[in-house]
A = this chain, B = another copy of it.
């Protein structure tokens, strides 16, 4: 998942996400409270979700720790921006980006409900599941 961070961009691994409406297209995510990622979504009001492919465990794990952006890369990971300015990973299967329409700040994560304002598919394939990572929580 990604967001804007002032004039910069930010990305983090996340697995708490679900669609919540067709019309308008709404999605809920949860981001760990007090992190740069969560504060960035709160401040910018936008976020992106990049759907990884089965087998892209290294890509998922790359964002467990903060990675500095240099140009259009986080480390070796290329991204671009489109409608909201949130980073879209070139190697993701597909992506969507949202404007935050609601926020629920209780518990150790903040829930952001976003309206999908743009989306795209880079290629078809099977999405990564949390199960294949061997984890019970991905951020």
Q: How many residues of A contact B (CB 8 A)?
A: 23
User: B residues within 8 A CB of A109?
Assistant: 20-22, 26
Interface positions, chain A 72-91, Cβ under 8 Å from B, are none
Beta-carbon contact of A26 and B102 below 8 Å: no
Oligomeric state, in copies:
2
Q: Which B residue sits closest to A109, measured CB to CB?
A: B21
- In the complex, what residues of B have CB within 8 A of residue A21's CB? 30, 106-109
Instruction: Report chain B residues within 8 Å CB of A16.
Output: 18-20
- Digitize A51-75: 1 where CB-to-B-CB distance is under 8 Å, 0 elsewhere: 0000000000000000000000000
In the complex the two chains form, is A108's CB within 8 Å of B30's CB? no
| Chain B residues with CB under 8 A of A20 | 16, 28, 30, 104, 107, 109, 111
- Chain A interfacial positions (CB closer than 8 Å to B): 16-24, 26, 28, 30, 101-102, 104, 106-109, 111, 113, 129, 137
